[in-house]
Structure 1
Amino acid sequence: MFYKGERTASIDALTKEGIFPITLTAKEGLALINGTQAMTAMGIVAYLEAEKLAYQSEMIAALTIEGLRGIIDAFDEDIHIARGYKEQIDVAKRMRELLVDSQLTTKQGEIRVQDAYSIRCIPQVHGATWQTLMYVKEKLEIEMNAATDNPLIFNDGEKVLSGGNFHGQPIAFAMDFLAIAIAELANISERRIERLVNPQLNDLPPFLSPQPGLQSGAMIMQYAAASLVSENKTLAHPASVDSIPSSANQEDHVSMGTIGSRHAYEIITNTRRVLSIEAICAMQAVEIRGREKMAQTTREFLQQGREFVPSITQDRVFSKDIQAMNDWLKKETFHFEKKQTRKIHS
C-alpha cells in the first residue's frame, strides 16, 4: 500500500498505525471476494469523485455565467419551486449564492430576454444529475453493508441457503445511471464552452484570443472538449443490458456491473477534463469583463485557479494547462455555505 506517500509493505504500514490483520475463519475469505465487492468498491470511488465534480461544475458554470453576462432571473426560487424537484431547487439556490454580489450578471430584458439552454437550464440539468447521484448513493450504502456471498449461513450454521445475493444487478443499474448523469455534465459544459469561444454567440474576442486572427486562443480547447464528450457517449452505453453465460450455462445471466463501474469512472475522468477546459475559458472571459465586477466567491476561485493556469497572453501548449486544472480539481473540494463558499481547500 501507499503509506504517507510511499509504497510500503502492508504489514509494515499497519503495524506503524497499531492495526493488526484479522485472522479469517471458515468461509470468510470466500465471502470477501464472492459477491459484488469489486463493482461496489469501484462504484464508491466513482461516486465520491462524481459528487465532488458535480459541486465543482456549479462553481465553474457560475464563472461562465459571469463571462457571458448571463441572466440571473433564470435561477429565481419561484421558477424551481413551481417544478418541485428538490435537487433542482438546491442547484438554483447555490447558483444564486455563488453570484449574489456579482456585477457581471444581468436582469431579464437588460441585454436579452433569455439565455440559451446551457445557461438557463443549469438547475434543471445539473439537478437531474444530483437526483441520479442520490439514487446511486442509496444503492451503494445498502450494498456495502449487505451480505452478497453464496451460500449464506444462518442460526449458527443450522441453516445453509443457496441464493443469488451475489448478483450485481442493483449496482450495475446504478453505475449505468451514474455514467449517463455525469456524461450530461460534460455535455452541457461543452456547450457553455462553445458559447464562450464562438464570436457569433457573444461579444467577447473570438476564441478568447489575445490577438484574434493571429493567435488561436481557446479554439483548440473546444475541439478537445467535443472529443471527450463524444467519447463519453460511447462509454455511456449501459453495460447492464449485456450478459454472456458462463460456468457451463449455470451462470446464465450476469450484470456486467464491474464493466459499468469502470465505464462510469472513465466518464468521470473525461468530464473533469471538459470542466477544466470550461474553467480555463471562463477565467479568461471574466478577466476580460473585469475581475473587480465578479462575485466574491467566483473571484476567489479565479485567484486560486490562476496559481495553476496563467492568463492566455499568447498561444501555447494548452494540454499542459488542461492537465494542471484537472489535477487541481481532482485535489480540491468546494464546500457551500449559506451565502458563500468556504475557502477552497485540499
Structure 2
Amino acid sequence: MSQETITLSGRELTTAQVARIARQYARVEISAQAEADISATRKLILEMAKDRELPRIYGFNTGVGMNKDWDISEEGLGRFNRMLINSHSAAVGPEASEEEVRAMLAVRLNCFLTNHTGASPELIHMYRDFLNLRLHPVMPTRGSIGESDLVVMAHIGLAVQGEGEVFLQGERMSAAEALAKTGLKPVTLGCKDGLAIVNTSALFAGLGSLLAEDVMEFMDMCDLLYALSLEAFGGNTSPLDEACHLARPVRGPMETAARVRRYLEGSFIWQPGVTVTMQDPLCYRSACHVNGAVRDALDYVIPHLAGHINSSDDNPCVVSEQRRILSCSNYDATSLALGFEMLGQALCHVSRNICYQLIKLDTPYFSRLPRFLSPDGTSVMAYTTNQKTYTALDAENRLLSNPVNVDWLSVSGDVEDHATNAPLIVAKTSKMLDNLRYMLGMQAYHAAQAIDLRNMAPLGRYTSEAYAAIRDVIPFVDQDRVVSIDIRRAYELVRSGRLCAIARR
C-alpha cells in the first residue's frame, strides 16, 4: 500500500496517478484553491436556486432527459434527487473491481474540482473520504451507452446517501453500516447534486486510464520479448538500424527500434554470419513498425485522456464567473472513443504478429531448429499443440477488435440520438490485452526454449535478464509435461511486473 498523497486540483491529474490511487491506495487531498473555488461556486448555485425570476435551466430547475419539461422547485429538490438516483441506478453486472471503482471515484472527484459542476462541498468531500477510507460502492459495470455513464455512476449516489452496498477495507456490507463504522454522515442531496453524481463519463475515463497505463507496460514487455525472440530466431538486425528509421521517421517505430537495440546491446545477434537468410519473414522484419503503431495510438489517446480527466464533463455546465449555467454535451467523448478503437486495432496487429513469430519459430524451415522446439525432434512433442491455444486467443482478439462506436440507438424520447459505447470499447480492449498477456507469456517460454536449443551466446544486456526471469519459473522442456501449467506461470510472470521492470531499467 502506497504512502503517497496526491493533491487534486482539477488540472494536473495523470493516468499514472489514477493507477496509483486505484491500485496502490494512494491517498488524495483537495488543493486549497480548489476548496475555495467549489465553496464559492456552491454559494452562487444556492443563490440562483432561490431566484424566482431565473429562466428554466436544464437539470437545475427542471427534470432531465425526456422529463426536462418538469419544473422543480427549491422545496422539491430533495425528493427529485432521490428519485433521480434511484431511477438511474439501472446497471447490470459484472460488478466493478475495487480498483476500477477507485479509478472512477478519483476521476470524478478531480473533474468536480474544475469548478464547473456546482455540487455541494459535502458531496465532493465524500468522494475523497471514500477513497481514503477504502470505502467502495458496489457498482455494476454494464448499461452505459457512452454518452455520460449515468446508470453506472448512479450507484455511487446510493452509497453517499447510506443506501445500497459497499466494500469497506475489502469487507462487503450495507452502505449504512459502513458510514456508521467510519463516522461519515449520509449526504442529503441538494440543488444539482444528483445530476452531478450521474452526469459524467468517469466510468469510461477511469477504466480507460487504467487500460492506457496497462498498454504502455505491456508494450515495453512486448519490445523486450521481441528482442529475445529475434535472438531465438537468429534473425536479421538490419531492420533495427537507425538509418532505416531516419529515412522514414515515424515516432512509434523509431522508439520501438531504439528500445530493441538497447535490449540487444552486447548480443551475439550483431556478429557477422549469425543470420543465414538475407531477409526475415515480415512478422520479424516489421515488428518494430507493428509494435510502434501501438505507441503511435497511445500518443493520440494519452493527451486526449489527460484533457478529459482534467476538465468538466457536466451537463449543464456552470460558468461561475459569468453567473451562467449552460446546457451542453461536454460528456461526449467521441474523439477519445475513436482513439481507444484505434488502440484495440493496433493491438490486434500485435496479436497476429506474435502468432506468426511463434509459428515460424516452431517451423524448422524458418528456424533451423527441431520442429515445435522439441529437444530432439523425435521423442518429445514439446510445443506441438501450443499453436491451437494462441491462435484461438488471436481469433478472439480479432473479434474484439471490431469497432462498436457507431452501434447505437436513439433513446430518451428520440432526443439522445448519438452515442459512442465508450465503456464497451474500453472493456473489449481490456479483454484483448489480457488475452495478449497469455500470448506474450507463451512467446517468452518459446523464445527461452529456442535460445537453449540454438546455444548461442552471449545474449543482450537486457534480454539475458529476461531469459533468466523466464527460466526462474519455467524450465527447459526435455520431456513432455502439462503445458497449461507453463502457460499459467508465464502469464503470471507477465502480470507480475518483473519483465516490465527489466524493460524500463
Same fold (TM over 0.5): yes
Q: Name the counterpart of 2:347.
A: 182
Q: Name the counterpart of 2:366.
A: 201
Residues 1:7 and 2:176 are matched in the alignment: no
Q: Distance in 1 between matches of 2:435 and 2:267?
A: 30
Q: Work out which of the residue numbers 148, 155, 170 in structure 1 matches 2:335.
A: 170
Q: SS of the residue aligned with 2:325?
A: strand
Residues 1:319 and 2:484 are matched in the alignment: yes
Q: Name the counterpart of 1:257.
A: 422
Deviations for 1:152-198, whole angstroms, at most 9, x for unmatched residues? 11126831111111223123212211111112211111110111111
1:197-346 pair list within 5 angstroms: 197-290=362-455, 292-332=457-497, 334=499, 342=505
| Structure 1 residue 106, shift from structure 2 partner | 5.2
**2:373 corresponds to which letter in structure 1?**
L
Q: Mark the CA change 1:167 to 1:199 in structure 2 (over 3 Å): closer, same or farther.
A: same
**1:258 corresponds to which letter in structure 2?**
P
Structure 2 length-normalised TM: 0.62
Q: Distance in 1 between matches of 2:312 and 2:340?
A: 20
Q: Distance in 2 between matches of 1:21 and 1:213?
A: 72
| Structure 1 residue 248, shift from structure 2 partner | 1.8
Q: Mark the CA change 1:275 to 1:105 in structure 2 (over 3 Å): closer, same or farther.
A: farther
Q: Name the counterpart of 2:128.
A: none
**2:264 corresponds to which letter in structure 1?**
L
**2:253 corresponds to which letter in structure 1?**
Q
Q: Distance in 1 between matches of 2:190 and 2:462?
A: 54
Q: Mark the CA change 1:33 to 1:327 in structure 2 (over 3 Å): closer, same or farther.
A: farther
Q: Name the counterpart of 1:91.
A: 256
Q: Mark the CA change 1:19 to 1:178 in structure 2 (over 3 Å): closer, same or farther.
A: farther
| Structure 1 residue 296, shift from structure 2 partner | 2.7
Give the count of matched residue pairs. 338
Q: Mark the CA change 1:225 to 1:19 in structure 2 (over 3 Å): closer, same or farther.
A: farther
Unaligned runs of 5+ in 1: none
Q: Name the counterpart of 2:75.
A: none
Of the two, which has the highest radius of gyration?
Answer: 2
Q: Distance in 1 between matches of 2:183 and 2:454?
A: 55
Q: Mark the CA change 1:284 to 1:105 in structure 2 (over 3 Å): closer, same or farther.
A: farther
Q: Mark the CA change 1:124 to 1:152 in structure 2 (over 3 Å): closer, same or farther.
A: same
Q: Mark the CA change 1:119 to 1:145 in structure 2 (over 3 Å): closer, same or farther.
A: same
Q: Mark the CA change 1:261 to 1:27 in structure 2 (over 3 Å): closer, same or farther.
A: same
Q: Mark the CA change 1:126 to 1:142 in structure 2 (over 3 Å): closer, same or farther.
A: same
| Structure 1 residue 210, shift from structure 2 partner | 2.5
**1:325 corresponds to which letter in structure 2?**
A
Deviations for 1:212-261, whole angstroms, at most 9, x for unmatched residues? 23322112112211111111111101111211121121211111111111
Q: SS of the residue aligned with 1:78?
A: helix
Q: Name the counterpart of 1:144.
A: 309
Q: Mark the CA change 1:19 to 1:259 in structure 2 (over 3 Å): closer, same or farther.
A: farther
Q: SS of the residue aligned with 1:160?
A: strand
Q: Distance in 2 between matches of 1:137 and 1:19?
A: 38
Q: Distance in 1 between matches of 2:403 and 2:433?
A: 15
> Which protein, 1 or 2, shows the higher relative CO under an 8 Å CA cutoff with sep ≥ 6?
1
Q: Distance in 2 between matches of 1:309 and 1:291?
A: 20
Q: Distance in 1 between matches of 2:183 and 2:195?
A: 22
- Please tell me whether the aligned partners of residues 36 and 148 of structure 1 are also in contact (alpha carbons under 8 angstroms): yes
**2:355 corresponds to which letter in structure 1?**
E
| Structure 1 residue 341, shift from structure 2 partner | 5.7
| Structure 1 residue 292, shift from structure 2 partner | 3.9
1:53-72 pair list within 5 angstroms: 53-72=218-237
Structure 1 length-normalised TM: 0.88
Q: Work out which of the residue numbers 99, 107, 124 in structure 1 matches 2:289.
A: 124
Q: Name the counterpart of 2:54.
A: none
User: Which deviates further from its counterpart, 208-217 or 38-47?
Assistant: 208-217
**1:242 corresponds to which letter in structure 2?**
D
Unaligned runs of 5+ in 2: 1-97, 100-133, 135-168
Q: SS of the residue aligned with 1:217?
A: coil
- Please tell me whether the aligned partners of residues 290 and 346 of structure 2 are also in contact (alpha carbons under 8 angstroms): no
Q: Mark the CA change 1:118 to 1:71 in structure 2 (over 3 Å): closer, same or farther.
A: same
Q: Name the counterpart of 1:160.
A: 325
User: Which deviates further from its counterpart, 176-185 or 228-237?
Assistant: 176-185
- Please tell me whether the aligned partners of residues 52 and 333 of structure 1 are also in contact (alpha carbons under 8 angstroms): no
Q: Mark the CA change 1:334 to 1:140 in structure 2 (over 3 Å): closer, same or farther.
A: farther
- Please tell me whether the aligned partners of residues 382 and 477 of structure 2 are also in contact (alpha carbons under 8 angstroms): yes
Identity %: 25
**2:354 corresponds to which letter in structure 1?**
S
| Structure 1 residue 334, shift from structure 2 partner | 5.0
Q: Mark the CA change 1:160 to 1:92 in structure 2 (over 3 Å): closer, same or farther.
A: same
**2:312 corresponds to which letter in structure 1?**
A
| Structure 1 residue 25, shift from structure 2 partner | 6.4
Q: Distance in 1 between matches of 2:239 and 2:191?
A: 61
Q: Distance in 2 between matches of 1:146 and 1:19?
A: 31
Q: Distance in 2 between matches of 1:43 and 1:219?
A: 37
Q: SS of the residue aligned with 1:189?
A: helix
Q: Distance in 1 between matches of 2:246 and 2:382?
A: 40
Q: Distance in 2 between matches of 1:142 and 1:42?
A: 15
User: Which deviates further from its counterpart, 184-193 or 110-119?
Assistant: 110-119
Q: Distance in 2 between matches of 1:292 and 1:58?
A: 20
- Please tell me whether the aligned partners of residues 183 and 236 of structure 1 are also in contact (alpha carbons under 8 angstroms): yes
Superposed CA RMSD: 3.0
